[in-house]
Amino acid sequence: MLGLEHDFRIVDTRATLDPDESSVATHGRDISPERLEREMLQAGIVRAVASPGQRAPGRSYLRANNAVARLSIDRPFVAFARLNGPRDAGTGPMSVVRNLRAEREDHHARPDDVEQYSYDDRFHGFTLAPSVDGLPNEDVLTRLEEADLPLIVHAGKRFPPAAVETELLGYDLPVVLGSFGGHPLDADLMGETLDLLDEHDRLYVDTTAVRYREVLERGILEHPDRVLFGSGAPDAHPNVGVMEVLTLDVSEDLMRRVFAKNPVRLVPALAEGADV
């Protein structure tokens, strides 16, 4: 695919690195760091947040996180540690019952893990995918609050914005809802997330897989400082996400905020010349 031509500095808050055979087998793809970097450059993306793909059930993310950090060295990637937990992310009565008996197992994230990642200069934030990895215990979330690093949350139909508000937004830390909180392609949930931005000052959204022009434009126009570019690579070629923003009916200044200013303010390691 030909590289895009534009005059923007673009950084990406949503990319996945599959560092080992287990992750590749679970997620069904095999994208090397070299290929991911090449596709980023084709899209004009100069730096990207990267975290591991989904692990098989019962597997810890410790090795995968360390592998992503290692693979990010001398590459334009900023490593985020992925966390899991024993609590069911569902919102129904069965989930409530399950969570009454949920006990942390050896492969689940612990407060000490969060502390270790927080003080390890290889990691610059955290990723949660509650619908597939479960929710961490409250002591882990409290330690995340103390760390005060960005937390990217995969939200959508299986972990909707209302659940995000109940489970996470009571903690004082920056939270980024992937896909405007409406994956996959749920415009109503995306609208609910945009309403939450009015109520929570430390809530942000990324543009990953938001295919609705009206939703993207509304988010950028109403909350110009809290929309971050995310490509979702390698699930989609990063060219796709870049083009979706480039073709919006918003000013170049707003595009620059989405592509770089907003992400860099939240994740300083994405800045030009940052030591990562």
Please report how many Cα atoms fall inside a 13 Å half-sphere around the Cα of residue 111, on the Cβ side.
9
Least Cα distance to 276 among 149, 123, 148, 81 occurs for 123
| pLDDT > 50? residue 235 | yes
**For the segment 95-153, what is each residue's pLDDT rounded down to a tens digit?**
655 666 678 999 999 999 999 999 999 999 999 999 999 999 999 999 999 999 999 99
* Confidence grade of residue 1 (pLDDT, cut at 50, 70, 90): very low
Distances (CA, A) of 144 to 115, 134, 203: 8, 16, 15
Q: How many C-alpha atoms does 264 have within 13 Å on its Cβ side?
A: 16
